[in-house]
Amino acid sequence: MPNILLTRIDNRLIHGQVGMTWTNHLGANLIVVANDQVATDEVQQNLMDMAVAEPIETRYFTLQETIDKIHYAAEDQLIFLVVKTPQDVLRLVAGQVPIKKVNIGNMHFSEGKKQISSTVSVDDEDVRAFHRLHELGVKLEIRRVPDEKSLDILKFI
């Protein structure tokens, strides 16, 4: 069983809050980014790696690679899993990735989305994905940084 400490939805993927603040708070030693585009984009990977302090390691996998490889994680790998969307989380859960808790950190506003907190905006597809994740027993919280109070997203959607 992979040791996934937390899964975070953040459409920026790795940046200072993820690479330093959250990783230190969780005690993670590995950040796994599950994203189809970034998995093949070395420039983006290199930029994101600059936000991660040694000795934290990073891996960039497609969603399917994450599903296929996560169960081979070593026992001493303390994993912080980062994705862009709730649909990505739903796909991982459907693929048997053992995700118990999701931190919703950043979902940018765009046309067709409704802002529900200072950093989270959702559309109907996002809402459906969050409700399905809840039905599957996944705990869902909005929290930008570790020292903020956790908010239950279901109270806002």
E-strand ranges in the chain read 3-10, 30-34, 57-61, 78-83, 101-106, 114-115, 121-122, 139-142, 151-152
> Is there a catalytic annotation at residue 25?
no
Our count of domains for the chain comes to: 1
Q: Span 70-90, mean pLDDT?
A: 98
Closest CA to 81 of 157, 156, 3, 7: 7
**Residue 83 pLDDT:** 98
95: domain CATH number? Answer: 3.40.35.10
Q: pTM value?
A: 0.96
Confidence band of 20 (pLDDT split at 50, 70, 90): very high
What does the alpha-carbon distance between residue 59 and residue 49 come to, in Å, rounded to a whole number?
10
Q: Print the domain residue range for 34.
A: 3-155
